Structure 1
Amino acid sequence: DGFDVHQIRCSYYSVLNCDDDAYLAARAIQFFAPGIPQVYYVGLLAGKNDDEMVKLTGEGREINRHNFTISEIEKEVQKPVVQRLLKLIDFRNDYPAFNGEFIIENAKDNEIKLTWKKDDKFCTLNIDLDTYKSVIEYIDENKNIVLYNI
């Protein structure tokens, strides 16, 4: 049935219907939440459910544990969704406001607004939950406000 006490038996990308924008919106929420986000390699490569391995092994947990070959990795890392995710990871790793104060902003029912502030830096994640459009507004090194469409 795809669920046990310990995990959902589905890849992160597949559970979001392989919708790039929905996947990146979900990852952006994860990255803006307090703490240190983790991304397993299947998620990093926007891996889909590995139904063949489940059938081969009879083990449901194999659904989200595909063992990528080097050639598969080289191909998958070129996908636009993976490139967009890598850029988002770089932003999360490098932007200084993530070491500051976290704020959940007031938003409409179909929106999410999460902000980090530190000193003269801030970044706000804006997600439209109807369209999954995700935009980060932030201050760059020249003190300009920048809109980054994830």
Structure 2
Amino acid sequence: MTDTVVSVFADCTSTTSIACDDDSGTGSFSKISLTNQTPGTVLYISVSRYSNAGGGTDGSFMISAYDASLILATSEISRKENGIKAYPNPFVDEVTISDIANVNKVLVNDISGKLIKTINTLESATLRLGELKSGAYLLTLEMKDGTTQTIKVLKK
């Protein structure tokens, strides 16, 4: 498909788009960058051919989505010196929390924010997470004082 228009909507009942891009001619492509989105939010995407006199052709198209925040910096793998660390990172089956003395429970979320697992009883500093698929995860440590700390980890 050439000369496309891509629009993003919050629901199927509204004709007001969150974002829209017309690639402005054959050989270009439409690109939409969204920021500050809530993980797990459903967005509806419309792809259409711009239909002016002789403009564009019908055909196949592809949609790609990515989250730029998935890039882990070295500083994120080894949290600040006073913070709790998770290692090894990336891990295969087990990840160790450096200091669990004040941790009440651990929530394991996928990168979209979906809760995968809750670990209520911490018998040791080693979390067994071998059942997870390869990818990026967020370990949210709920502390005994009510605060939280989130650590990004990668499962090989």
**TM bucket, shorter chain:** under 0.3
- Structure 1 or 2: more strand by fraction: 2
Give the TM-score of the pair, scaled to structure 1.
Answer: 0.23
The answer to which structure has the higher helix fraction is 1
